[in-house]
Chain A
Amino acid sequence: EADIYQTPRYLVIGTGKKITLECSQTMGHDKMYWYQQDPGMELHLIHYSYGVNSTEKGDLSSESTVSRIRTEHFPLTLESARPSHTSQYLCASGQGTDTQYFGPGTRLTVL
């Protein structure tokens, strides 16, 4: 089992709130990713990082931001949550071109 953790697992918040979704991995991987996924549907890459102080936007436009100050930590922040942000957010990490290891996901509901 991969050592990648996401908190919280479930979050229900009101519109306009600022939230941070946490992702940590203990495998020393350089590459980390955030995906947005509606249940059972496509994986949409929203952010990725190839190392400390390196972040890039993914293929799906997102109002969220990310930071990579430490190798093991890749938090995602929404400054002002809206109902359209309701989704599952999956964090992943990897090394080189091989396997991506996914966390269990955060299920976000914005009321």
Chain B
Amino acid sequence: QQQVKQSPQSLIVQKGGISIINCAYENTAFDYFPWYQQFPGKGPALLIAIRPDVSEKKEGRFTISFNKSAKQFSLHIMDSQPGDSATYFCAANSSASKIIFGSGTRLSIRP
């Protein structure tokens, strides 16, 4: 019940396309859903996050879509650029539990 399932494991998108990464969770007590971006040789860094009281959050080219009833959330990267090539981790957290990370998605944007 503590797992966060992330897919796909890897993703190749053409420059200018839309990248979509999906995550699903079981624990309905989770109340904070961040996405982290990690470049090679660096630690993960917070990209964007959402709380379950809203269904969508947008920051620039990055959007989180949140479906509370389905217990799913996804990251959309619009107009994907080569500089977006990185590993992306979704996560879920609550005051009663440790943060749980998804298994990661390696995104590669082809020029």
Q: A residues touching B (Cβ–Cβ < 8 Å)?
A: 2, 39-43, 45, 48, 58, 90, 92, 94, 96-105
Contact = CB atoms under 8 A, between A and B. Distances in A.
Given A92-B43, A97-B94, A99-B46, 12 more contacts: A2-B45, A39-B40, A40-B106, A41-B104, A43-B44, A43-B101, A97-B32, A99-B34, A100-B46, A100-B99, A102-B44, A104-B41
Main SS class of interface, A = loop
Those 9 A-B pairs whose CB atoms lie nearest each other, nearest first: A102-B43, A43-B101, A99-B46, A42-B103, A97-B93, A97-B95, A102-B44, A90-B43, A40-B87
A40 B34 contact: no
Main SS class of interface, B = strand
Interface residues of B, number: 24
Contact of B104 (A2, A42, A97, A105): A42
Given A40-B87, A40-B106, A48-B98, A105 B43 contact: yes
B40 A99 contact: no
11 contacts: A40-B104, A58-B98, A92-B43, A94-B99, A97-B99, A99-B46, A102-B44, A102-B45, A104-B42, A104-B43, A105-B42
Interface string B31-72: 110101010111111100100000000000000000000000
B31 A97 contact: yes
B89 interface: yes
Contacts of B103: 42
A92 to B, nearest CB: 7
B34 to A, nearest CB: 7
Give the one of A41, A94, A96, A99 with max B CB within 10 A: A99
Contacts of B89: 43
A75 to B, nearest CB: 17
Contacts of A101: 46
A43 B87 CA distance: 11
